[in-house]
Structure 1
């Protein structure tokens, strides 16, 4: 079972080796004249200048940078001898450096963004650890420390759950992919875990306890035992117009929010070591993922192999197969099958379903442009619980063309298929 990975590649230097796949030589993994779809989409994202923080891209811009860093780092690790890999590594450094001015003040800059801000933390840790540029290294470390401190400063509801953003008492599934891997990585990295909360074993334990606690709170308040799926989020005060009067849960299962949570479980499992004191945190996360994976396998659309935008209303008028959530589920299922996180009886089904989903995405949503790049369609815009959270709201949000929230997730799913 794969956990910590060590490598001398520059992608690993950015801290992304924690999530990377075993490397193979060259990028023509399938012996085709064209590059692998993961590489091709990576080149296309870079050609559009996406994943570089500008401050002009709204509250989700840090998340766009984070998911881009994650996907490009995984490509560089998978294809270390690829012709594009040096450019990918350089681009990763540019992306990581671009977020520094926006996250270096924990009490203002970092907290002015949703929890998605934490998605950039792993690349900052790597840049701080190994950059040859002393100024860049110092600035990246400052930003990584500020992101970690922002978790402690983040407002919480009466249950101890982290607010996703500025909405009082509301916690979203969305933030967990950004929170859990970074929280875990930072706590277990000996060069970092003492920076904010003291260099002690207790500090590491407290951070990992809280990481699991946040996953638990969302699970306990949004999980539906009938479907095996989780609603978008919950209001601890149960006063939101959409809140269940017992659990506080929102009424619908939004695909991409559940996709973030699914990836959070799988990616955090990969970071946690299989032995030693920290391995105890694996059990509850592994149990959640196995239950959720079973629900996802049941929820896949039989006709297309994808997953619905509103997953608890399959086939309802106005509903549609959404490309970012589908890519995230394909990635999580394929990766967990590969790394042994699923029961033996579910492995073949997960591989079959995940591979079929990636092929459907390629056929239905990947667009071959005249200039030789790839574009990506079918990714819904941000859906917020700062809304009515009705079915009509979710299916009425616009579809974004070339959203990296979809195309980067597609890269991750494609890398798994290319194994």
Structure 2
């Protein structure tokens, strides 16, 4: 039996049918927190563990879980179950991503989402064999960027499709590329070539994919201009897919966060900040006024067949709240308006897509399985793709959004 739970009420008691929910001391301390409750449910389902049998999206599912759980640990430190699941997730991808030429390049740019956790683990005081494994995986991922195929403008191919670049890949590429670069350089040197390349990838997608009328970006572009969907001038695809834009939006805010802690990065921060603010304005304007969330195809709001999609909506919620919290939207009306929009969106997601399962775990509904430019990229294509219940791409995004909501609530409680 599945029950849509709405906003979790203070004092709710978790059903104890599942051992993690029954016995986990971590979750018992904060049973009313949406982020922790959903994270415990992902652990119960063994989500974010790569098996090699889940196709090309498996590295992203693992890396996105790692990132969401890391954000949760930043707010709620000391959660051993969450920390152990991050470790298990990283360990699960190592056999598939530890050789840049033989296996890492067999996956899309999404593979790089695992790099942040690998970098963290490689710096921890672990047994030599463990540290060596993490370091090998980390270096393979970094090398795979250099070996990745590129178009005539030096833009990275997202996957195997010739000359095609997607917004999607920036979430995995930009924060990792930046973090690796600033971490591996000492206090007096900075690998500007790598940071220049990171910024170049962000800029190429912006230049090719920006819709000047809405301020939103379409899914991707074909630098050769030969795809059936490619604009004859820009190579851009025709539609704004909410989740692909969500990946790009999150990439901007997460990369800005990495850069803010390091000197001599102003020339990279300011252009990214301009893009983030511009996109924040466009995203808040694109919200559906009736629901407070966002459409699957954002440039076709209200069109027959279109629907409110839960992963992209959660990503926008997270990025808006995080940007406001870190001061990227300023102290005034823009920050206030973005926060209000994001809070309403989170309420809608919780009321309409979070499901209490009979075993006491939480499910997450309304997430489109996958949309690829290896298609007609038509409106009919985007709205006809199946909905995947409990997709990690939706539930992990909801955890990130909930972490930001709970951080905001804690701040208000302290005021």
What is the TM-score of this pair, normalised by structure 2?
A: 0.89
From 159, 163, 188, the equivalent of 1:165 is 159
Query: Over aligned residue pairs, what C-alpha RMSD do you find?
Result: 1.6
Say if 2:314 is the partner of 1:327: yes
Distance between the aligned counterparts of 1:273 and 1:395, measured in 2?
A: 38
**Is the 8 Å Cα contact of residues 59 and 113 (structure 1) preserved in structure 2?**
yes
Query: Who is 1:404 aligned against?
Result: 392
**Structure 2 CA distance for partners of 1:373 and 1:28, relative to 1, 3 Å:** closer
Q: How many residues align?
A: 381
Q: 1:276 Cα deviation (Å)?
A: 2.2
Tell me which residue corresponds to 1:134.
128
Q: Is the 8 A contact 1:381 1:397 kept in 2?
A: yes
Runs of 4+ in 1 over 4 A off after TM superposition: 26-29
Q: Distance in 1 between matches of 2:170 and 2:120?
A: 21
The whole-number CA distance in structure 2 between the counterparts of 1:329 and 1:246 is: 29
Deviation of 1:79 (Å): 1.1
Report the Cα offset of residue 200 of structure 1: 9.2
Distance change in 2, residues 1:412/1:329 (3 Å): same
Equivalents in 1 of 2:305, 2:238: separation in Å? 17
Q: Matches of 2:174 and 2:188 in 1, distance apart? A: 20
Deviation of 1:201 (Å): 3.5
Pairing 1:86–2:47 present: no
Aligned to 1:354: 342
Question: Pairwise mapping of residues 218-229 of structure 1 onto structure 2 (< 5 A)?
Answer: 218-229=205-216
Report how far residue 76 of structure 1 moved. 1.6
* Corresponding residue for residue 175 of structure 1: 169
Q: Which deviates more, 325-334 or 69-78?
A: 69-78
The alignment status of 1:151 with 2:145, answered yes or no, reads yes
When structure 1 is superposed on structure 2, of 180-189 and 72-81 the one drifting more is: 72-81
2:145 and 2:293 map into 1 onto residues whose CA distance is 34
State the match for 2:219 in structure 1.
232
Q: Quick one: distance in 2 between partners of 1:260 and 1:64?
A: 13
Counterpart selection for 1:283 from 267, 270, 292: 270
8 Å CA contact 2:49, 2:62 repeated in 1 = yes
Q: Find the partner of 2:92 among 81, 87, 98.
A: 98
Give, in whole Å, the separation in 2 of the partners of 1:302 and 1:45. Answer: 31
Unaligned 5+ segments in structure 2 are 1-25, 408-415
Q: Deviations over 1:213-249 (max 9, x none)?
A: 0000000000011101000000011110000000000
Instruction: Give the TM-score of the pair, scaled to structure 1.
Output: 0.88
- Structure 1's unaligned 5+ residue stretches are 1-25
